[in-house]
Structure 1
């Protein structure tokens, strides 16, 4: 194997390892949020803040990440992002409210850095395989999201590790990713030329109506995802299943969506535009949350889990694919990624806390689930616009 082929192979592995770390710091919290709430005496709205803080970090970090990577290279910036994730997750070993929230915010900053850079890196390094590589890293992301959600309760309660050790264990994949990227940085001595695409001189995406529609689509589908990760176990528990079973059902939803993570962007790229794909995913979302709302039987809850898993994974993968499919260059893909994720996650950040607050006020999950149905309609509306065959440079 030539040095270039070795570097490309390790680069693919590096992208996959980074993607492994973009969800567990968040998805591992939902199943044990009751333990955290009880141990630290948190209200529902403040417990929801544990999944909201990373989104706040996404919103503020995303716009500046491309400029930082222009100065230090995407490899070094990705390494810094992984370091933030590592430190933020390790901080959860300390059962202190302030340290828990501070570590969560730091991990969120690291995740935001990696979130923004990956679409641009894929567009630059694999220009003819954008949809395929997007599917690969989103699917990898989904694998660890599912695992983190599913094993949290068994580790915390079954093994007796408690919520602190359970949440901190996800520092291990972050450490592995850091080691590989240190090697990649050492291997690739001259990165200046390869990183020119990150130099974000073009800011016209902020003036593009299409870019804003993509950002809204990303924000609303992210709203659904992070609310579901944070509160689906509690919603299922309220429907009569045990909290351990609810954790596994949430994990199953994410696992069921894995094929959609890979197939949706690959299939969508084969169409002239992606509006029909958006409409299908939106209808599946409506079926899923409606079934959860009226889910007084196990078959309805299972239907809900299947539909929610498909739509969350598929729409997220499609949103990331849009960042490459709606731009003509890697530079514009990076610009759109920073802009769309900044606005999108700012919109999504209110989700877990808002839903927790609505539950505190109403005392049931009816109003929160109706809210999710309304948001699903918004996903369809903005997604239909984002799915049209055009480029942000032309809009």
Structure 2
């Protein structure tokens, strides 16, 4: 009996390792440009708004590509689709590091397309192969995302300045992440896994999602979290250097924020296991993010503290948003559809963040208004968390009900 289980267990372990390696490519390739953005802007003579577009391009790619990702998966299979996405990420990283304006934008858009496919399909893969471990594995791959992003933020400035590489090779060094992920994921291309059940009717499920209040609550919770997070990722270093911090200090605080954003998952599993639903924790983490953004605007001298609050609050909210995709759906097909909806609409909202924040700064010559505005949005985020955190699933009578409806019979996932 044990000999029969052993090969299956090994395959599951290798699949989990592959998921974690893919996760390292989902944030670092584009968030790590933040500490170098001012250097890149000056080198290529870009305006603040034009530099903000560099951070917005991956988010726009997420919004455009996310709805198509489930269809790509059905045609190619989950594993080949993810492998193709890793190639896109690696190619985009290399193209972006050539040092031209056109290659900067094109490479950034290309890696954004690859990350978008991975973003959508990973929750579906977890739902399919680890249905009993959705919170645990979601936390682990969110942790991998955060740690890799933090390391990228810590290292790019020393690579560019201390070692004299320049910003182009410093960003090109991030190619190691998709290269490693491709090597680990390669055996999965030939493994036989059960694909998303294509026999289930796709169109009715898609229609039900767009009419579901619960699906919209999950989507907007994810979107407002991403909006706040990517403004902070994009412009925190610029804000700090304007406040008197050095580039290296700003990069370190930026890295701390991202490192802290990976840690909430370690606390969420024991907390969520004791909770009837996730409403309270969703509201609480939104409050922590609101405190961090408001504190940063009011007292930038304590940026390390406020950056930690922003990282913890938004990191926990992003993890919850990813959990909601699996916990609020009934099967892998529906999970892929909700993932596509949440990440398409959510990242379309988030893409506006860096551009709008850069434009507001150009008009006001200050980041204070930007971060105070983020604190207000975090309060709204908490309200959507009260809806998305209910212990129900899309398609139930309560899942179609209006926001914050009254008494309900909770369905355990």
TM range (shorter): over 0.9
For the Cα contact (< 8 Å) 2:197–2:332, is it kept in 1?
no
Look up the match of 1:11. Answer: 15
1:21 aligns with 2:25: yes
For the Cα contact (< 8 Å) 2:58–2:111, is it kept in 1?
yes
Provide the C-alpha distance between the structure 1 equivalents of 2:300 and 2:239, rounded to a whole number of angstroms: 12
Provide the C-alpha distance between the structure 2 equivalents of 1:243 and 1:168, rounded to a whole number of angstroms: 19
For the Cα contact (< 8 Å) 1:135–1:261, is it kept in 2?
yes
- Give the ranges of 4+ consecutive aligned residues of structure 1 lying more than 4 Å apart after TM superposition: 197-200
Unaligned runs of 5+ in 1: none
Look up the match of 2:146. Answer: 142
Look up the match of 1:157. Answer: 161
Provide the C-alpha distance between the structure 1 equivalents of 2:120 and 2:380, rounded to a whole number of angstroms: 23
1:206 aligns with 2:221: no
Cα-Cα RMSD:
1.5
Look up the match of 1:358. Answer: 360
Normalising by structure 2, we get a TM-score of 0.91
Q: Select 1:130's aligned residue among 108, 130, 134.
A: 134
Q: How many aligned residue pairs are there?
A: 390
Alignment of 1:169-180 (within 5 A): 169-180=173-184
Alignment of 1:145-294 (within 5 A): 145-186=149-190, 188=191, 190-191=192-193, 193-196=194-197, 201=202, 202-203=205-206, 204-264=208-268, 267-294=271-298
Unaligned runs of 5+ in 2: 401-413
Deviation at 1:4, TM superposition (A): 2.2
1:356-381 C-alpha deviation (Å, 9 max, x unpaired): 00000101112111221122122112
Q: Select 1:53's aligned residue among 53, 57, 66.
A: 57
Deviation at 1:53, TM superposition (A): 0.4
SS in 2 for 1:64: helix
Look up the match of 1:44. Answer: 48
Provide the C-alpha distance between the structure 1 equivalents of 2:222 and 2:159, rounded to a whole number of angstroms: 32
Question: Structure 2 vs 1, CA of residues 258 and 372 (structure 1 numbering), >3 Å: closer, same or farther?
Answer: same
Say which is worse superposed, 108-117 or 24-33, in terms of deviation.
Answer: 24-33
1:381 aligns with 2:383: yes
Question: Structure 2 vs 1, CA of residues 174 and 245 (structure 1 numbering), >3 Å: closer, same or farther?
Answer: same
Provide the C-alpha distance between the structure 2 equivalents of 1:198 and 1:261, rounded to a whole number of angstroms: 35
Question: Structure 2 vs 1, CA of residues 253 and 364 (structure 1 numbering), >3 Å: closer, same or farther?
Answer: same
Provide the C-alpha distance between the structure 1 equivalents of 2:286 and 2:165, rounded to a whole number of angstroms: 39
Question: Structure 2 vs 1, CA of residues 276 and 25 (structure 1 numbering), >3 Å: closer, same or farther?
Answer: same
Look up the match of 1:323. Answer: 325
Question: Structure 2 vs 1, CA of residues 180 and 303 (structure 1 numbering), >3 Å: closer, same or farther?
Answer: closer
Look up the match of 1:77. Answer: 81
Provide the C-alpha distance between the structure 2 equivalents of 1:289 and 1:198, rounded to a whole number of angstroms: 46
Normalising by structure 1, we get a TM-score of 0.95
Deviation at 1:143, TM superposition (A): 0.5
Deviation at 1:209, TM superposition (A): 1.1
Look up the match of 2:411. Answer: none
Question: Structure 2 vs 1, CA of residues 99 and 296 (structure 1 numbering), >3 Å: closer, same or farther?
Answer: closer
For the Cα contact (< 8 Å) 1:121–1:330, is it kept in 2?
yes
Provide the C-alpha distance between the structure 2 equivalents of 1:101 and 1:198, rounded to a whole number of angstroms: 40
Provide the C-alpha distance between the structure 2 equivalents of 1:249 and 1:3, rounded to a whole number of angstroms: 44
For the Cα contact (< 8 Å) 2:298–2:368, is it kept in 1?
no
Look up the match of 1:119. Answer: 123
